[in-house]
Amino acid sequence: PHDLGIWDDEHVEFLRRITTFVHTQGAVAGVQLAHAGRKASTRRPWEGRGAVRLAEGGWSDVVAPSAIPFAEDFPEPRALSRTEIDALCDDFRNAAQRAIDAGFRVIELHAAHGYLLHEFLSPLSNIRTDEYGGSLENRARFTLRVVDAIREVWPADKPLLVRVSATDWADGGWNVEECVQLCRWLGEHDADLVDCSSGGIASDVRIPVSPGYQVPFARRIRHEAGIATGAVGMITEAGQAEAVIADGDADMVFMAREFLRQPHWPLLAAHELGATMAWPDQYDRARPR
């Protein structure tokens, strides 16, 4: 209930205020399009786990490929019909059009971390027996349809990224081999780059987190699927990030939480790596000399 949205035309004007400011600062504004699926109507991380009650702004009609909840304290979802899947493809297309109208220049489609598109991909959350379940081709069908729907309105000269979970880290779940094939198809459907993350579909798995632990996924997908990749996860040092690119493991490095800890990380990294980068006038006196 507290997530930013782009599901209504009224959102465009206010999002455009953000993109306009970002672009005046010499940066590029991107938007991540996602549907939470069976993880919807849950609390913000700092409020603890569990469903948001209706009286607090939650909702009862949570949807997924199959009626399997993420965990005991999450809402029980309702399986989507074929007609509803068709409508969701239209919803993603409309969201992409709003992203254009709001001034965004990059779209990342979120098909990872146990949200709706990933739920269709993983056998742990998708037990459908129609054309959207069973074989890899069927489980990937919805994701590829959404990519096609976005490309109907998203210009060919603007990047379309797709975030994937390369593995569920769980027996019987989505695995790297299947993900490589999905990424081949994504390239054929005009996706430009795959952001290689992992996990999120199961609540009871232990992920072997360590510095750069997901870089091998980006490397394998880049070389075997023939599509550009981004590496993400526990990449915090400038030299570490530079090595990912220099060694050919990925085409980009994605960072998030380190920016929360160090908002000026790019300026400091540029200095450490000997690159020239303009500092804001107000901060220039603090630039290392």
Three-state secondary-structure class, residue 106 = strand
DSSP string, 188-224: HTT--EEEEE---S-TT------TTTTHHHHHHHHHH
Looking at every residue in the chain, the average pLDDT score rounds to 96
pLDDT mean over 59-72: 94
Residues 6 or more apart whose CB falls under 8 angstroms from that of 72 comprise none
132 assigned to active site: no
Sheet strands side by side (includes 160-165): 30-33, 106-111, 160-165, 193-197, 228-232, 252-254
Report the percentage of the chain scoring pLDDT > 70: 100
Q: Is 162 within 8 Å of 107 (Cβ atoms)?
A: no
Joined tokens for residue 58: 């939650």
> Choosing from 115, 132, 213, 283, which is the catalytic residue?
115
Residue 222 has pLDDT above 90, yes or no: yes
The amino acid that residue 151 corresponds to is R
Q: If pLDDT is split at 50, 70 and 90, which confidence band does 21 have?
A: very high
CA distance 231 to 213: 10
∠ Cα 52 146 80 (to 5°): 50
